[in-house]
Structure 1
């Protein structure tokens, strides 16, 4: 996050990272798990090529499953990630407390650098916000990128889950975040990279493979 004005905050959060690299697994076949929320529309996702959504970008090949029981980041949802990414759980510490931004608490950090790419996908839990996935996502964007502009929101399907996706401009680039409906409320995943479009294939893979964690 070298280009972010919020880099100082995230640097403090990174100090308390704990966990280990996830073991690569065969990604399970897509199931027909029902959505955890009927709040967003369950119709087919819109397809919008070009900026800001770039739906024409193909998903990367799956190499690792994130979120399962017994893996570094146990989450209410699971999703696939390209092979080679580093997966670390994020926990609080006595010195720095919980790694939070606003009412969003970071649960997991997914690091692309071992693959030669620069950037992260970060997983957040937002608590104490009234409303559904869109309200949770708007709170996250406002807290995480206070100077963000040109924010757009849309309802989509992410794997088998209802979701709300955000596109917004920060430091001159178009960033992305998505709130995925789980059995325990929305889980937000943010894309953070010097060149966000470089990580869109990984981001698309996460979107297409998201499932409720039934473990």
Structure 2
């Protein structure tokens, strides 16, 4: 069941867009930017875990997805639909090869940010390719660092990067992981109002990743 359309997310997404700007550079995680985009955030989250509050992905979970994973306590999931033929929806609800299908709000848990789930069609390529295209579609992204891991029988690729804010004159951290499914790729992305909020929400991101499974 669809909770709302992408158009209903415009105020939130415009706020996120207002915090970014200017140009960027891409990277492979081997330079100084890899530490800025990934190491600091990972270190700050070390030793902290999120309490499971439920599972998203199955029927009746708030978002029916190609995968299921655990969500942190008090985080609220809501399905999102991208309306075909809508320029607004295309601009806000699509990024690279994937479209937004679910938004998991951290505000009930006291944070300003979201886990957003994006899905693509069966032509999406490998998880690494999908993530590269996803990040490249954000002109403000830079300092990328990619890693690969195995969750159960699933091969998961993760990217840590930064998004430059022209208004705040600083870069904020972001992170996403991708997995291939028989129906196409799935990307789970964690942003945040700023890097401090992002780091505070990393345990919820890690909970989602380590509990990931198909169907």
Asked if TM exceeds 0.5, the reply is yes
CA 1:130–1:81: 2 relative to 1, 3 Å: closer
- Asked if 1:101 corresponds to 2:95, the answer is yes
Deviation at 1:103, TM superposition (A): 2.6
- Asked if 1:79 corresponds to 2:32, the answer is no
The equivalent of 2:142 in structure 1 is 149
CA 1:139–1:184: 2 relative to 1, 3 Å: same
Deviation at 1:169, TM superposition (A): 1.3
The SS at the match of 1:59 is: coil
**1:125-179 CA distances to partner (integer Å, 9 max, x unpaired)?**
1337553110011101111x21211111111123542110001111212210110
Preserved CA contact (<8 Å) 1:91 1:107: yes
Q: Over aligned residues, Cα RMSD in angstroms?
A: 2.6
Counterpart of 1:162 (choices 151, 155, 171) is: 155
Deviation at 1:97, TM superposition (A): 4.6
Task: Measure, in 1, the Cα distance between the counterparts of 2:83 and 2:212.
Answer: 30
The equivalent of 1:32 in structure 2 is none
The equivalent of 2:213 in structure 1 is 211
The SS at the match of 1:190 is: strand
Task: Measure, in 2, the Cα distance between the counterparts of 1:129 and 1:120.
Answer: 27
Task: Measure, in 1, the Cα distance between the counterparts of 2:127 and 2:189.
Answer: 14
Matches of residues 1-215 of structure 1 in structure 2 within 5 Å? 12=7, 14-15=9-10, 50-51=39-40, 53-54=42-43, 56-93=46-83, 96-97=88-89, 99-127=93-121, 131-143=125-137, 145-158=138-151, 160-171=153-164, 172-194=171-193, 195-213=197-215
Task: Measure, in 1, the Cα distance between the counterparts of 2:131 and 2:123.
Answer: 10
Deviation at 1:70, TM superposition (A): 2.9
Gaps in structure 1 of 5+ consecutive residues? 1-10, 18-48
Counting helix residues as a fraction of each chain, which structure ranks higher?
Answer: 2
CA 1:137–1:203: 2 relative to 1, 3 Å: same
| TM-score with structure 2 setting the length | 0.70
